Amino acid sequence: MKKIFIIIPVLIFVLSGCGVDTKEAEMFLKELSKNKSVSQYLSEAPTLDYTNPIKKYYDFKINLSMNKKFTQLSNKEKYKILYKVYELIEDKGFSSAISCGDKNTCSVDEVHAKYKNDDYTIDFKHGDSLYQLEKNDEVIFDLEDEKEKRKENSSEEEAQSADDQTIYNYMENEFNRITNYGENYTPEIHDSMVAELASEKFGITVDEANEIYVSMSMNKYIRHKS
């Protein structure tokens, strides 16, 4: 059954009664309710809270009530869902400094996604916080850390590839040296001999040496064919 969310008018009246123009905020809530990538995880219509820390300045907070489906996502996926709110603000041209009257300055500073006692938050105010997801005031996902991990993994893979290339080159040279470039090659003798030499030199097992040589030989053949 398709869910239809209705923006609660009481919220709008409360804000309007305080001299804050909420037309743009109301428009944004409607757009947010229509966004399928977000709305499928909502159990209720999104709402706004605000604080008034400085005269004529208002901090807006978007509140999302989430369903159980949201809790089953990974932390990275949860972050992506909440980041969609920020993207929607940008895509619709609202900007985080949302219009709320000529004499007022208002900004959407936070998005809160609540499920039972858990509160998931992204803070829009600070650059670093925009890439972090907090759960009950504790960071559970950091996009920048994720990028660093990917770089480290990529570097490790490149290093491993370089190591494999070194081992392959050594074994190829030993094959050429021992067999006079294949002239005296006897598989039953020389395959195990070269693998044992590589095992001793690089501190790997004979099986690992053989696997590396076969794998690198296949890669070389495929590159040559293509």
Q: Using one digit for the tens of pLDDT, what is the confidence trace for 163-181?
A: 888 999 989 999 999 988 8
* pLDDT at 18 (0 to 100): 53
User: Distance (Å, rounded) from C-alpha 187 to C-alpha 43?
Assistant: 68
Q: What is the dihedral of CA 200, 202, 207, 209, to 10 degrees?
A: -120
Cβ atoms 33, 5 nearer than 8 A: yes
User: Distance (Å, rounded) from C-alpha 112 to C-alpha 122?
Assistant: 7
Cβ atoms 190, 181 nearer than 8 A: no
- Within 8 A by CB and 6+ apart from 204, the residues are 167, 198, 212
Cβ atoms 165, 216 nearer than 8 A: yes
| pLDDT tens-digit series, residues 55-64 | 777 888 899 9
Model confidence at 41, pLDDT cuts 50, 70, 90, reads: very high
* pLDDT at 125 (0 to 100): 77
- Residue 109 or 82, more confident: 82
| DSSP-assigned states of every residue in 36-57 | HHHHTTBSS--EEEEEEEETTE
* pLDDT at 106 (0 to 100): 79
Q: How much is the average pLDDT of 8-15?
A: 34
